[in-house]
Structure 1
Amino acid sequence: MPVGTVAPTHHPTLAPSRAARELGLKRGEFELAAHLGRIRTVPDPDGAGRRVPRAEIDRLRATEGFPEALRQSVATVGTTAGAAIVDVPAGRFTRLARLGLMTPVKFYVNRYRAVVWLYLAEELREFAADGKSAALLTGRMPEGLRDQLAAGLDLRARNWRGRHLGFLLRQADDPWERAGAVAAFLDPTHLADLVPDPHERSHLHRFRPGPPAHGTPESPAAHLAEKIMTAEHPDEIGWLRNDLARAVDEARAHRPAPRPAAPPVRHPPRLISSTARNRPSTPRCDPPAARTAERPRGLLGRLRGRGPRPARA
């Protein structure tokens, strides 16, 4: 090695930004690949998110068709492009998605505050190629499905929640993290009902992820994303509550939630009764003072202390 050349540093794990560059992915593509389990990540030892093992980078780079095959596996499309893939009008595609036959993988809020759902192009191609889907792609929609659509059925948000929960659980490395992942899809009233202890609830909130970032905090887009994150169907809420109760029990058994240290015990000041306060104090006995008190003082005392003089002869 030439003099002055610095040897390359081989880190056992890489930051997401560095891993994305080495895999030829945009940041959004990398995040989606990690969400889908296409890229294995591990916790950062310093607690700063997730990292990618160097061995995982080497594994992916050695796969056939890298990097194009990896990019295609996380390619997403909206309604118009999705309809073109399955060869149906956009309106029919939306109806199929509302029926839950296609599961969104991402969403964003556009400038008109409308939710735009995104789907994996790879999954849509598989759906179109499946012979069981042919009757849904052509001809008249079955009557039962038409009735559900007329009643307002829309399973896109619910299906996205189920998919996102799977991602959060895959990345959870601790029982409290798994409980927090389930809690992320329930509103605070359900959490207070299932976890009444405020210390446990506060600890659970530490591991409760929020919705994917959309807009600035407290913005209309952020509020809409929070609404999409929260379960709304009674049966969905029911199984989430059951899962959370079980997850919290497992977390308690693994490690109780921390509690604040008890304050030091302070003894109250000693109280003196009114009787004791009013009782005259007994003077201490001081031997020199007692002898002084017994000895007569002054001239009269000396005269008294002499006693009668003896008579002269």
Structure 2
Amino acid sequence: MSGTTITQSATVSLSRAARELELRRGEFDLALHLGCVRSVPDEGGGGRRVTRAEIDRVRAETGFPDVLRERVKAVGTTEGAALLGVTNTRFTRLARLGLVVPVKVYLNRYRAVVWLYLAEELRQFAADQQNAPLMSGRTPEALRDQLDDGLDLRPRNWRGRHMGFLLRQTEDPWARAAVVASLLDPVQVAEIVTDPHERAHLNRLRPAPVSQAAPDSPGAHIVQRITTADDPDEISWLRADLGQSVLEAREDRPAPRPAADAARVPAQVPAPDAAQVPAPAFAPVPSAGPPTGAPSSTDRTSPPRAAHTMQGRPAAADFPITRREAARSRRLLTWLRGRGPDDATYSARNSPSCTTETSSRPSRS
């Protein structure tokens, strides 16, 4: 029996693990993030799985499954305020100040942002006597001033916590760099990771979105704003972290790049046979340089513009020509032979509409 078969038989999918641990899928995802249940990568590339030994370990814990459910229980503002014994308004202020950190976020049917908090952490916060002044009486003036200025640390604190969840699930350097890049604006990522192949690799390893909203929908734009860093200090920290993560990933292995495509190399046009090619309407003159393009249909009956006829491809020793002049000469030969170029890539590269570098565009007559 192969090693892969043994691994597959010793592990189960995440959905089956959730059923065997008597957890809803949202609760099970939190259990994975919090480390209550450990998962392993699927050797077949199918995501993550849970070993049979890990399921047996969790089920053998005292108080299963109630204790496990209580550890991953997430509550909203109303239930969280009840656990702290404060009003909803005060609880929201505590969350905006970063004193309680959300563990999950989603959009409801009205596209309103809903923050969820771990009930266990809220109970610990309420039990700490140092937090008693914050839950009763007047809020300190310094904190009130921050709230009046619009301070809201919920998105930033959630991003930091979510990044920690994702980093704990992978040891691959490029995947870890992709986690950091997913919290930055693409413009910020492009400034740090200048290689397009590395950016494409980071995009392929980008974590799954936290929302199932359709791309470019209003809900997707709201989630994008939440998951993208906007605080200058946070952006500066993430940029430094991304640069260091990419350096470590490069030391581990380079990002994959597409193989060299031979079709991208322009095909060499063979010299035409003098017996098969009729006398052209005009031919390039070495002193004046080759023509800029093929003549129009009215020029085909005009007398030759020079005494030379193109009996073959001139040698480089006869007169030096630039690469641009050589390309124009090859296009002229193609026109004389009465057929389009064989290399479509070459044709597109030399077409003015297919290049973004204006300095390399051929001149037009």
What is the TM-score of this pair, normalised by structure 1?
0.82
Equivalent residues in 2 for 1:194-273 (5 A)?
194-264=192-262, 268-271=268-271
State how far apart, in whole Å, the 1-side matches of 2:139 and 2:22 are: 42
**Given that residues 161 and 229 in structure 1 are in contact (C-alpha distance below 8 angstroms), is that contact kept between their aligned partners in structure 2?**
yes
- Mapped contact 2:77–2:116 kept (Cα < 8 A): yes
The partner residue of 2:63 within 59, 62, 65 is 65
Please list, as runs of the form range in 1=range in 2, the aligned pairs for 1:1-313 lying within 5 A after superposition.
11-264=9-262, 268-271=268-271, 277=311
Match of 1:282 in 2: none
| CA apart distance, 1:261 | 1.6
Question: 1 CA distance for matches of 2:161 and 2:70?
Answer: 19
Shift of 1:112: 2.3
Residue deviations 1:35-93 (CA, integer Å, cap 9, x gap): 11211011112211110011111111111111100000011111111000000111000
Give the 3-state SS of the residue equivalent to 1:165 in structure 2. Answer: helix
What is the RMSD of the two structures over their aligned residues, measured on CA atoms? 1.8
SS at match of 1:107: strand
Deviates more, 1:219-228 or 1:149-158: 219-228
Which digits, 9 at most, give the CA deviation of each residue in 1:148-188, with x for residues without a partner?
00100000011100010001101123100000000010011
How many residues of Structure 1 are paired with residues of Structure 2 in the alignment?
269
Q: Which has the higher contact order (CA 8 A, sep 6+)?
A: 1
The alpha-carbon deviation at position 275 of structure 1 amounts to: 7.9
- Per-residue deviation at 1:102? 0.5
Aligned AA for 2:239?
Answer: R
Separation in 1 of the partners of 2:211 and 2:74? 18
Take 2:123 and 2:310, find their aligned partners in 1: how far apart are those partners? 95
- Partner SS for 2:152: coil
Distance 1:244 1:31 in 2: 26
Code of the residue aligned with 2:180 in structure 1: it is: V
TM-fit CA distance, 1:210: 4.2
- Following superposition, the deviation at residue 218 of structure 1 comes to 2.6
User: For the residues of structure 2 that align with 1:259 and 1:214, how far apart are their CA atoms?
Assistant: 31
SS in 2 for 1:135: helix
Q: How far is 1:266 from its partner? A: 6.1
* Contact 1:72 1:122 (8 Å CA) reproduced: yes
Q: Secondary structure of 1:173's partner? A: coil
Q: Percent identity?
A: 62
CA deviations 1:102-152 (Å, max 9, x no partner) are: 000111112222111110000000000011101111111111101100100
Tell me how far apart the structure 1 counterparts of residues 103 and 24 of structure 2 sit (CA, whole Å): 17
CA distance in 1, matches of 2:216, 2:309: 66
Contact 2:179 2:206 in 1 (8 A): yes
Mind listing any 5+ residue stretches in structure 2 that lack a counterpart?
1-7, 275-307, 313-365
Conserved? CA contact 1:113–1:221, under 8 Å: yes
Query: Contact 1:109 / 1:214 at 8 angstroms: preserved in 2?
Result: no
Aligned residue for 1:51, secondary structure, equals strand
Q: What's the secondary structure of 1:83's corresponding residue? A: helix
Q: In structure 1, what residue type is equivalent to 2:214? A: T
In the alignment, the residues of structure 1 paired with residue 138 and residue 84 of structure 2 have an alpha-carbon distance, to the nearest angstrom, of: 16
Instruction: Tell me the residue number matched to 1:284.
Output: none
TM norm structure 2: 0.71
Which stretch shows the higher mean deviation, 77-86 or 34-43? 34-43
Name the structure 1 match of 2:295.
Answer: none
Unaligned runs of 5+ in 1: 1-9, 279-313
The answer to whether the Cα contact below 8 Å between 1:108 and 1:214 also exists between their aligned partners in 2 is: no
What letter matches 2:20 in structure 1?
E
Is the 8 Å Cα contact of residues 44 and 51 (structure 1) preserved in structure 2? yes
